[in-house]
Amino acid sequence: MTALLPVSVMLPLLGAGLTLVARRAAGVQRVISVLALAVQLVTECAMLIGIDASGPIVMHLGGWAAPVGIALVADRFAAILMVVSTVVTLGVLVYAISQETAGHPGWFGRGSSAPAFHPAMLIMATGVSNAFVAGDLFNLFVSFEILLTASYVLLTVGGTAERMRAGTSYLVVSLLSSLIFLAAIALVYSATGTVNLADLAGRLADLPRGLVSVLQALLLVAFGIKAAVWPMSAWLPDSYPNAPAPVTAVFAGLLTKVGIYAIIRVQTLLFGGQGFVTLLMWAALATMLVGILGAVAQGDIKRMLSFTLVSHIGYLLFGVAIGGHAGLAATVYYVVHHILVQTALFLAAGLIEQLAGTTSVSRLGGLATRAPLLAVLFFIPAMNLGGVPPLSGFLGKIGLFQAGLAAGGALPAVVVAAGTVTSLLTLYAIVRIWGRAFWRPAPQDGDAEEAPDAAPGAGGDGDTAPAANGDAMPAAVPAVGGDGIAAATPRRAAGGGPAPAPVASRVRLPGGMLAATAAVVLVGVALTAAAGPLYGLAGRAADDLGHPARYVTAVLGQP
């Protein structure tokens, strides 16, 4: 069982190396990356079952015992997140491969392919897995760097002007958070002489309270930036929507949740759920409300989804702040729900882009008749996100609200009220978008159907993106709508001339993209169907989190 632990980290890394070697053979790259993630998923499922049966597993790398060497540790919480993150990554990878083979010129900017995509994706999977099993702070920092460096590449794939602009701000914000984290590690080490999480859990208790508060504040700020907690969340809706759809989907699912994982881990293990609880509550409240008010104002589906992503980080933070068994169990369940539902929504948004060539609601319409299946695939996770019973979003929120009210006090009650408002506003924002994009008649019939004269430079390619002032310049509409149409009629568009696309044709979406989206949506629905056992598992994971002694004993041996 212990031997599986490094395998789940090594496999994607090995796959990344192999895909780099095979950079000229796109087919080989695809086979390698799907295989690597599929095998990783199997090992992680085996690990989850084993850990759930017999407690945390630990591997001391190189045979050096814990406080000296580097330890990899997986408890129930880490194992759950590893399984879910690999499910999501695998789904997104299949989606991306299908989109790649279907021919989507705007996807990579000017080039027709991006050999860096598969290695970067696998390296990101490595970083995410490594972050979940990191047993010491410095290893956690290295994992963050692994996944961030891969994410820089993924976010700027194609190198268009718009992606460069968005990528730069993302890069600078990430760098800043990494440096804060590193400075925190330096201070933690000089205060305690160790960076091993299990060792720290004991030693921090002996330090003066003021010093502990400083260390905790630094760590929370560093992770808060990564998790997009208000007021450190502005970078997210700016950078995510500009990436290719599969990249946005996997980022939305995983990256912020790694930050949340780190917050939960240090809050429960190192600081025993104490300190900054009130501040976390306020941050949760502000994250929810500011995020969702931003979402309501957006006219673009991907941007709207990015704002809801920020907003729902607030629920997770609220769960961490409540702490205790009930709060943590609900948080664990909600993290899983949130990873799946956000990824599904961004994948569906990518399908809309593939179909209509834009995600701006002002230029969308009538999609329900053109792609009824897509309407369903968008609707289910949308309702799930909004917290409509009986879906998992509802169950997670109910769990959080119950825990919040049980904790007592005025502030948790206020946050619960804000959470309810946020939930309703989410429903409003998302139903408004859904209604406009799918149900109202297509705007200016046929207008969006005209193929642009220079398809390869349009759409997802940021060069023409600033021309998005649709009302003032109707001529800009087909230009932005370009790459979806180009996908629909690749031969004509590639010819370069203005090619009239067949009006109101039923564009066939690539089967692989639909299947991958449907799979992620269905796993999200399965969270509801299997809510009983899953909540039980989440409860046991929360129990582990609530008893840091188990983690410490597993790593350091019997005291």
Partner 1 sequence: MTGDAFLAGVIGVLFAAGVYLMVSRNLIRVLLGFLLVGHGTNLLLLAAGTWGAAPIVGESGGPAGEADPLPQAFVLTSIVITLAVCCFLLAMVFRSYQLTRRAELQTDPEDVLVEAGPGGAE
Contacts with partner 1, residue ranges (CB under 8 A)? 138, 142, 145, 149, 152-153, 156, 159-162, 164-169, 171-172, 175-176, 179, 182-183, 185-187, 189-190, 195, 238, 241, 297-300, 303, 361-362, 463, 465-466, 468-469, 471
Euclidean distance between CA atoms 45 and 39, whole angstroms: 10
For the bound state, the minimum distance from the C-beta of residue 123 to partner 1, rounded and expressed in Å, comes to: 12
- Whole-angstrom CA distances from 397 to 312, 316, 335, 411, 494 are 10, 10, 11, 17, 48
Tell me whether residue 323 or residue 456 sits nearer to partner 1 (CB atom): 456
Beta bridge partners of 450: 500
325 vs 241: CA distance, rounded Å: 36
Q: Measured from the CB of residue 183, what is the shortest distance to partner 1 in angstroms?
A: 5
Please identify, using beta-carbon distances, which residue of 172 and 421 lies nearer to partner 1. Answer: 172
Residue nearer to partner 1 on the CB measure, 145 or 453: 145
Nearest CB to partner 1, comparing residues 393 and 481 = 481
In the complex with partner 1, which residue's Cβ is closer, 98 or 216?
216
Cα angle 382, 384, 386 (rounded to 5 degrees) comes to 70
Whats the size of the chain, residue-wise? 559
Rounded Cα gap, residues 189 and 197, in angstroms: 11
What 461-469 contacts at long range (C-beta under 8 Å, 24+ apart), as own/partner pairs, is: 461/106, 461/109, 461/110, 461/158, 461/160, 461/162, 462/160, 462/161, 462/162, 462/163, 462/164, 462/165, 462/242, 463/160, 463/161, 463/162, 465/161, 465/162, 466/162, 468/360
In order, the DSSP letters of 194-212 are: --BHHHHHHHGGGS-HHHH
Nearer to partner 1, 28 or 182 (CB): 182
Shortest Å, Cβ 297 to partner 1: 6
Name which of 145 and 543 has its Cβ closer to partner 1. Answer: 145
Q: Quote the least distance from Cβ 148 to partner 1, whole Å.
A: 8
Q: Are 344 and 521 in contact (CB under 8 A)?
A: yes
Which residue lies nearer to partner 1 by CB, 173 or 542?
Answer: 173
d(CA 250, CA 342) in angstroms, rounded, equals: 9
Closest to partner 1 by CB, 67 or 202 = 67
Contact call for residues 552 and 202 (beta carbons, < 8 A): yes
Please identify, using beta-carbon distances, which residue of 179 and 398 lies nearer to partner 1: 179
Rounded to a whole number of angstroms, the minimum distance from the CB of residue 475 to partner 1 is 17
Beta-carbon contacts of residue 360 (< 8 Å; ≥ 6 apart): 299, 300, 301, 468, 470, 480
Nearest residue (CB) to partner 1, 198 versus 328: 198
Q: Which is nearer to partner 1, 83 or 465 (CB)?
A: 465
Comparing CB distances to partner 1, the nearer of 195 and 336 is 195
Shortest approach of partner 1 to residue 476 CB, angstroms?
Answer: 12
CB of 247 to partner 1, least distance (A): 16
How far apart are CB 501 and partner 1 at their closest, in Å? Answer: 25
Residue 228 CB, nearest approach to partner 1 (Å)? 16
CB of 52 to partner 1, least distance (A): 34
The alpha-helical segments, DSSP class H, found in 112-208 are 117-133, 137-155, 161-192, 197-203
The Cα-based distances of 440 to 99, 178, 429, 433, 521 in angstroms read 27, 45, 16, 10, 24
Largest CA distance in the chain: 76
Identify which of residues 20 and 277 has a Cβ nearer to partner 1 in the complex.
20
Cβ contact 380:525 at 8 Å: yes
User: Which residues, including other chains, have CB under 8 Å from residue 380's CB and lie 6 or more apart?
Assistant: 344, 391, 521, 524, 525
Q: How far is the CB of 323 from partner 1 (least distance, A)?
A: 30
Q: How far is the CB of 125 from partner 1 (least distance, A)?
A: 19
Counting beta carbons within 10 angstroms of the beta carbon of residue 533, is it exposed (0 to 12), middle (13 to 18) or buried (19 or more)? Answer: exposed
| Beta carbon of residue 165, minimum distance to partner 1 (angstroms, whole number) | 5
Instruction: Please report the DSSP string for 288-357 in residue order.
Output: HHHHHHHHHH--BHHHHHHHHHHHHHHHHHHHHHH-HHHHHHHHHHHHHHHHHHHHHHHHHHHHHHHHHS
Distances (CA, A) of 96 to 59, 157, 429: 34, 13, 27
Smallest separation (angstroms) from partner 1 to the CB of 437: 13
CA 220, distance to chain mean position in Å, is 19
